[in-house]
Amino acid sequence: MTLDDTDLRPDPAAAPRRRAAGDPVKALLHRHRDLCERAVDPLEIAAGLEAHGITDRTATRFRHRDVFSLAEELYARTPRGETLAGPAPVGVAGPAAVRGFGCALLPGAVALGAVAARVPWAGAVAVAVTVAALVWPGRTAGGRFPGLLHLLAAAAVGWAVHGHGPALGVALALAVAPAHLAAAGFAARARRGLAGSRALEDFAAGARPLLVLTVAAFTVAAAGAAALAGAPLATTVPLAALLLLTRLVLAHGAHRVPAAAALAVALVPVPVAPLAAAAGLLVHAVVALSRASAHARP
């Protein structure tokens, strides 16, 4: 029995497969080249890999103990120019941060001014300026304008103000500034925790209590705003927490369906509706915002 010459030739498709099997990281680098080339540090790659479903357990297939170690090799093996900008410092207050906080003070000032002027539509003004504070985070998350969430937020806040009076709207408008600080503080501390983590589980274990403590601290500030405006605490505080969680979901690119559902629940005409809505969205936020991919730079 004789063999044809073509039977002795190597399969051209088999060689790349063998090379990829011998260097699995090279194949992964080719698959995620855009992510690796855009990243300013290994943390960006780790977050991106997690967003694509690669976990610490998956990283062992690439001969690494965790995603962070895998990301470091991908970052080191990615060719990049000398002019690539380095990572921005975390938590450094600059002109943009000062302008952002100044803008966060405007809703409270406008709402207080409308009430002080005794305009008949002061409640509507408070609703408008409070919901407007959600627009900026929505625009930064993926570049898509989440109009449905804003409409639901306006409906939920408007319904509450209709039932409890303009004082509730003023309290929520005053809570915009502490909400801005809470969101910025959570983002900075989570990013710092990501920098110090060596495994996705380690980061998640630290991010969950951080989010809960952030929301708890904000509720204290919201209670102060309610007392200052003379609004009912039982409605103001959970509704303010719901708006803060909606802001965080928008800013960090988490799934918006749970936020929309929570805002719809807040429209139910029962006293416990805002509390139930905030509690439900907190559960979603704890899961979604404990992922490293939620804290990658846009």
Q: What is the pLDDT along the chain (298 residues), one digit of tens a residue?
A: 443 444 434 444 444 444 444 678 888 888 888 888 888 778 788 888 888 888 888 888 888 878 888 888 888 888 765 434 444 444 445 677 788 888 889 999 999 999 989 888 999 999 999 999 887 776 555 445 578 899 999 999 999 999 999 999 999 999 999 999 999 999 999 988 877 777 777 888 999 999 999 999 999 999 999 999 999 999 999 999 999 999 999 988 888 899 999 999 999 999 999 999 999 999 999 999 998 878 866 5
pLDDT number for residue 9: 44
Q: Are 124 and 160 in contact (CB under 8 A)?
A: no
Residues 6+ apart with CB under 8 A from 245: 215, 259, 262, 278, 281, 282, 285
pLDDT number for residue 226: 97
Q: Are 160 and 278 in contact (CB under 8 A)?
A: no
Token match 């920098």: residue?
Answer: 195
Query: Distance (Å, rounded) from C-alpha 217 to C-alpha 91?
Result: 19
Per domain, the residue ranges of the chain are 18-77, 95-295
Q: Are 247 and 137 in contact (CB under 8 A)?
A: yes
Phi-psi label, residue 119: left if phi above 0, alpha if psi -120 to 50, beta otherwise: beta
pLDDT number for residue 237: 98
Half-sphere exposure (Cβ direction) of 286: Cα atoms closer than 13 Å: 14
Residue 106 phi, psi (nearest 5): -65, -45
* Structure tokens belonging to residue 193: 């925790």
Query: In Å, how far from its chain's centre is CA 69?
Result: 24
- Please choose, from the candidates 237, 284, 232, the residue with its C-alpha nearest in 3D space to the C-alpha of residue 262: 284
Query: Distance (Å, rounded) from C-alpha 177 to C-alpha 225?
Result: 10
pLDDT number for residue 82: 44
pLDDT number for residue 279: 97
Residue 228 has a CB neighbour count (10 Å cut-off) of 14
Give the end-to-end CA distance of the chain in Å, rounded to a whole number. 64
pLDDT number for residue 13: 46
Q: Are 288 and 252 in contact (CB under 8 A)?
A: yes
